[in-house]
Structure 1
Amino acid sequence: MDGLEAHIALPLVGGMAGIVLGFVARLNRFCTLSALERFWYSGDGSGLRTWVLASTVAMLATQAMVALGVVDLTDTFYLRPYLGLTGAVLGGLMFGVGMALVGTCAFGAVIRLGGGSLRSMVVLLVLGLAAVSTQRGLLGQVRITLVDDWAIDLTAIGDQSIPSLLSAALGFDATPTAILLIGGGLLAWIFGNSGFRRRWTSILTGTVVGLVIAFGWAATTYFSTISFEPVQIEAGSFSVPVGDVIIHVITYTGTVPDYGVGLVVGCVVGAALASWYRHDARWEVCDDARELSRHLAGGALMGVGGVFAMGCTIGQGVTGFSTLAASAPIAFASMLLGARLGLSWMIEGSAWSAFRGGASGTEPAE
């Protein structure tokens, strides 16, 4: 395979990974907001444990490949030595509120589109255009002012990974210790519930999702070594890549789609296959103008917020976390807070009710 063939093969490999990811997510209802709603309002943590398992598996698999030299994360934007703290917080809050307004995250919208949801198509169109505008369009000036100009310079440390920060603070290489403590702690929490330990479908779902994300790092690293064209080292996100899909559909720039574009398209195909398999595909539209306006606003917030935070729930919560970037837990925590405020406003009538507590019950062991 020469360099040109490698560059063309990259989106095809991304498409195949996306088909697996979309099929598994749709078949087993892997959804961030749904998991959070069940945990907050009914005390059911199975969905959240499945989600955290995906993130943990992605992190452990990625770090193992880094140690073996299979994956090189040096050039990924997640580990750049400028920590956009304002972007992680503001973008995460915006994305979380957008999730609540839409009823799912960017990845969930892609999966729902595969099942025939025209509401999700509207969301993704707005999200994609807002993301591209924020990354390299008019809204990019806002991003530069609020995020880039306020970034914390960590060049003295090398990058913004959690192990690098710990190593600088402790005076020795704390990478293995950090990986073991973080991974072991999360696995202990995930499997600390006896009921979840018997949910083999959930365990398999979380494992497959995490491995698909880790595979993205390996695939893009490999193709970057044999392609004549520059290859972005990435693994999975559903904010800017959605906008890139739109651009490739409506324009011809002479460039070949990258791995992220292939992943997004593949997820739609995989979700469609799962819908066909489950016989649950159906056309869905907004019921009225109020619902449509809510979806438009939510899509815009997720598009802008996803770029501010350098990723969506998958892009930061799973992919970013797999690199152990310091921005990942900050951005994801902000998304959780934004989603909680948005859901409280929509369900309980006031965003501030999120701080009164008492909404979620005790998670059962069975």
Structure 2
Amino acid sequence: MDIVALIERIGEAPTAALFGLITGIIFGVAAQRSNFCLRAATVEFARGKLGPKVSVWLLTFSTAVVWVQGAQMLGLFRAADSRVMSVPGSWSGAIIGGLLFGAGMVMARGCSGRLLVLASTGNLRSVVSGLIFAVVAQMSLKGILAPFRDKLAGLWITGAENVSVLDLLRIPDWSGFAFGLAVAVLALYLSVRNGIGPKILIFASGVGFAVAVGWVLTWQLAQVAFEPVAVTSATFSGPSANTLMFFLDRNAVFEFDVGLVPGVVLGALISSVLTREFSWQAFDSVPVMRRSMIGAVLMGFGAMLAGGCAIGNGVTGGSVFAGTAWLALFCMWIGAVVTDFLLDQRAPAAQTA
């Protein structure tokens, strides 16, 4: 792809949005076909199983690491230039935000990325929860909740830049690629043991591939663009808020985020229609709706505090070994496991949710 020619033809901002659209479509199709979901994986793990949901999540995570680290070894991308690594990270934000997000995704029955995919398949519950998530994320980014978020995030920061897990462990860069391969082998073993077919495996790895596509495209664009371009990839906290404001603010401009969210919707919608999995669904009861709305609020604030959602931290940030992303992911697992135990395993009445 001749990026310079594309910029000359449509401009830098539309090019960034187009790259977001491409990344989003790949992600949407792959996530819808593989049923990739961190919430489902954590619940399965919380109940003492290493079943198909955990297998799919591990395969997605590992292939993202392999694709991204492989691209870096080939000179197609440089993790140090990414937005998540070039700005200060917050350890306190990762811990508190990760716990809140983990609890919220269990209550809402899906992380922000999963809600977006489900909404594209006719799930009206996810539409409502997703809109609440986007509004709260925007409130936490620039609105009334922003000062509180800044205060919590400022309790413990990494310094001038984020911290690389590889640098902390003082191990060579190629070990990231090797780690990804090792986890992929484990994921494939669990997948075979759980009887997961090749199609699901391909699409699960496709989610990881989408993350690598986003990193490579935005990095390549940043090398030739006149204006500064954020090197980023798939995440749904900031992009959801930015996309919402794009349609509400006439002065909003095109960017990667604005193309990413519509791309996921388009990809998941086309995939669900072609596979005849599109189906209108709504809330079953008021308690279920109330629980989902509370979960969406927790996810919206938690994601902005943690520096990203389950995709942004757990796959995208994790693939470049950002220290705060790994800590946030760990806390998301803890928050989800504890919430599932308290709300669903200990309270039979909550199981209907």
TM-score (norm. length: structure 2): 0.89
The residue aligned with 1:252 is 250
Taking the aligned partners of 1:9 and 1:80, their CA distance within structure 2 comes to 22
The residue aligned with 2:206 is 208
Q: Comparing 40-49 with 100-109, which one deviates more in the overlay?
A: 40-49
| 1:79–1:159 Cα contact (<8 Å) kept | yes
Matched, 1:266 2:269: no
| 1:12–1:262 Cα contact (<8 Å) kept | yes
The residue aligned with 1:18 is 24
**TM-aligned CA deviation for residue 309 of structure 1:** 1.1
Q: Comparing 281-290 with 244-253, which one deviates more in the overlay?
A: 281-290
Q: Comparing 17-26 with 215-224, which one deviates more in the overlay?
A: 17-26
Q: Secondary structure at the match of 2:261?
A: helix
Taking the aligned partners of 2:162 and 2:111, their CA distance within structure 1 comes to 28
Match of 2:169 among 158, 166, 169: 166
Matched, 1:91 2:89: no
Match of 2:33 among 19, 27, 37: 27
The residue aligned with 1:65 is 71
The residue aligned with 1:278 is 275
The residue aligned with 1:359 is none
| 1:7–1:229 Cα contact (<8 Å) kept | no
Identity %: 26
The 1:198/1:31 distance shift into structure 2, 3 A limit, reads closer
| 1:85–1:152 Cα contact (<8 Å) kept | yes
Matched, 1:344 2:341: yes
Alignment of 1:158-197 (within 5 A): 159-167=162-170, 174-180=172-178, 182-193=179-190, 194-195=192-193
Matched, 1:319 2:316: yes
**TM-aligned CA deviation for residue 159 of structure 1:** 4.6
Match of 2:117 among 88, 111, 114: 111
Write out the 4+ residue segments of structure 1 that deviate beyond 4 Å after TM superposition: none
**TM-aligned CA deviation for residue 46 of structure 1:** 2.1
Q: Secondary structure at the match of 2:76?
A: coil
The 1:5/1:341 distance shift into structure 2, 3 A limit, reads same
Taking the aligned partners of 1:8 and 1:275, their CA distance within structure 2 comes to 27
| 1:234–1:260 Cα contact (<8 Å) kept | no
TM-score (norm. length: structure 1): 0.86
Taking the aligned partners of 2:272 and 2:180, their CA distance within structure 1 comes to 33
Which deviations, in whole Å up to 9, do the C-alpha atoms of 1:227-248 show, x marking residues without a partner?
3332211111011111111111
The 1:331/1:128 distance shift into structure 2, 3 A limit, reads same
Which deviations, in whole Å up to 9, do the C-alpha atoms of 1:309-328 show, x marking residues without a partner?
11111111100011111122
Taking the aligned partners of 1:324 and 1:263, their CA distance within structure 2 comes to 22
The 1:282/1:197 distance shift into structure 2, 3 A limit, reads closer
Aligned residues: 341
Aligned Cα root-mean-square deviation (Å) = 2.2
Matched, 1:45 2:42: no
The residue aligned with 1:226 is 224
Question: Where do 5+ consecutive residues of structure 2 fail to align?
Answer: 349-353
Match of 2:147 among 141, 149, 152: 141
**TM-aligned CA deviation for residue 350 of structure 1:** 5.7
| 2:101–2:298 Cα contact (<8 Å) kept | yes
